[in-house]
Amino acid sequence: MDSSLDQQSSAVAEPPAKAAVPPAPRVPARAGARPPAVVVESNPDPPINKVRRRIVWASVAGFLTTCFLMFVRFFLPRSITEPPSTFKIGFPGDYALGVDTKYQQQYPIWVDTPSDRLFVVYARCPHLGCTPDWKPSANKFKCPCHGSGYDSEAINFEGPAPRPMDRAHVELDAEGQIFVDVSKLYKWPKGERNEFNDAGAYIPTG
C-alpha cells in the first residue's frame, strides 16, 4: 500500500513536460528593401583640412567680389583728369631767348622767345598728334613717331608734318603775368593764311 502512495505522490510532484514550440516561419526579404543601417564612427577632420577649406572659400569669395566690383564699375561714369586749358606761366622777364621747356611736364606747351616776341607752342605734332622732343644740341624739335623736324620756332622743315606746330593764345593779365589759353590755337596751314601774326598769338618783347 505504501508503494502505491509513493507512486501517486511522485506523479503529482512531477510537472507535466512542456510541449515543443515550433520555430517561427522565416519571412523572405522583399526586393528593394533597405539593408539595416550600419553605424560608422567618423574620425574628426584634421585641423590642416579645415585651414585649406577656409583658404579655398576665401579665394572664391575674393574672386566673386572682384568680379562684382568690375561689373559695377563698368556702368559707372568715368572721369578723365586733364590739365586746365587756361593757366599762368609767370612774367615775360622770367624767360631768356630761346626755348623754355620747364612747363612741358605740367602743361603741353613750350615757351619760345625769339628776339622780338614771346609765344607759346602747343606740344603736338600736326601729323598724327605725337609729342615732339626739343633737341638743344641740334636746335630743333624732333617728333619720335615719324621723324618730323621743326626749327626753334616750331616751323616744320623735314618729315611728313604738313604744317608748323600750333601756337596757343597768350596775353598779359592785370598783374603783367602771361595768361595762356590752349583751347584757342593759332595755325599756319600749308597754302593758307598765317595766323602767327594775329593779336593773341604772341606778346611783343622788343
Any domain includes 73: no
pLDDT for residue 200: 95
Any domain includes 44: no
CATH code, domain carrying 127 = 2.102.10.10
Q: How confident is the model at residue 5 (pLDDT cuts 50, 70, 90)?
A: very low
Any domain includes 61: no
Buried b (16+ CB within 10 A) or exposed e, 9-42: eeeeeeeeeeeeeeeeeeeeeeeeeeeeeeeeee
Whether 124 shows a pLDDT value over 90: the answer reads: yes
| Alpha helices (runs of H) in 39-165, residue ranges in sequence order | 47-74
Whether 20 shows a pLDDT value over 80: the answer reads: no
Whether 150 shows a pLDDT value over 60: the answer reads: yes
Any domain includes 146: yes
Total domain count, the chain:
1
Residue 43 is given by DSSP the state P
Contacts of 148 (CB under 8 A, 6+ apart): 125, 127, 132, 142, 156, 158, 159, 160, 161
Task: Give the model confidence (pLDDT) of 45-75 as tens digits.
Answer: 566 677 777 888 888 888 889 888 887 776 6
Whether 82 shows a pLDDT value over 50: the answer reads: yes
8 A C-beta contact, residue 84 and residue 180: no
Any domain includes 19: no
Any domain includes 143: yes
Domain that holds residue 109: 86-204
